[in-house]
Chains A and B, each alone.
Chain A
Amino acid sequence: MLSVLQIVRDNWLLLLIGQYPYGPLGGIAATLILSVFGILLAFPLSVALALARTSPLRWLRWPVTGLVYVTRGVPLLMIILWTYFLLPALLGHPVSGFTTMLCTLILYEGCYLSEVVRAGIEALPKGQTEAAKALGHGYFGRMRWIILPQALFNMLPSMLSQFISTIQDTTLGYVINVQELTFAANQINNQLLTQPFQVFFILAITYFVVCFTLTQFTHWLERLIAARRRGGALPASARAALEDDLPLPTGEELL
């Protein structure tokens, strides 16, 4: 236990920001920047994909459904390797590991998030669409003013869960040497050589603290939204739709 504290005391700066300002930004800072930007940029993509998947136009629905299935059927690691190989070839110049990882996350999380958004859209009662049509809204007006505001609000807890998954997914950047928290821990381990258990224990606890805090916040948000919706839409069907589609079910059972 003492040695754990000793390692933290000697290496806290490396765990926090990596070798910055003498090298690239790393540590927890890079992990959080990567996951925050990953999910923020994945969000517009996910809405577009969800609209395409729920679209009545077949030529729009089928290719996007295919893309989502392929992304869900292939390990993230494989997609990282593809991006690592294709991105520099397409752009014609070398790309940093950080950018490669960010692009992969946008695509990957965008596809998963689109399933969340789609579940949110499909869980809304049909009457919402019909009422919006009766009021004279066209397709885009309907989506912009009636459907998406409700669907996205109801799905806020699930989107937050996806953000937690994104934080966990950034660890895979380790494979292409992205300088984030897991990379920093491996650096410390390679310096010390004799205390691998203590080093990886610190790493696990750090991720646990970050993700557990966010998980608790998700539960709180979920209860808040459920309370606001009481007597309104269909929380049960929304939850059922989500559990059918997503590898990480959200709900009160998370803890």
Chain B
Amino acid sequence: MMRSITVVIALALLAACTVAAPPADPWAGMRTEAGTVVWQDEYEFVPPPAPWKLMSLNEDDYSIAFFRGCGDEPPGNFPCESTFAYAEEPFGYSRELKERQREFFRLRRFLWASRVDFDPPSSKKISALGGEALLAETVGHERVLKHKVLAQVVFARRGERVVAFYFTQWRPDDGTFDRSHLEDFRRFVETFRFRKPSFYERLLGYR
């Protein structure tokens, strides 16, 4: 019995030390001299500053994603999550940007589990990944819980295929979106680079 108590106390002390220690750099060992981060030897980008956190993903829809939760927002402002992600295989099929945008929202796969009805998206041409891209923005409404979500999607190209960057921010229906979070998303998109040809480019023998 005494031994059990001793162990518990020791663990508690260790935990206290962990809290007091300065936060470890989650990108240690991945940083380049240019200030970017190399991810899985495939992508290079400037990661968003804290409180953005890297999300752990167990699905193929997203290749890398970040979020900031309610703990990073003023109290009483629920829902309050913001996320953004790079997706190698965005919903839809077309290799044409405008058509892919139409499919992306028409197929109702994006945020499908949240039962969201999207307003018709607005879109404009921008540059991303060194080429022409399309930035679409819309607001989705979850009418049962009375939540809304700001969604911004950048459709760009990797070789022949369309890839995408997603941003979402949840708020109560009568709340206000914090568009300052979009700045971190924009910077992520602007700095995002590929380190090597994609699987599909290699498949077809492109260099």
* A, B co-complexed: no
Chain A residues packing against B (C-beta within 8 Å): none
Chain B residues packing against A (C-beta within 8 Å): none
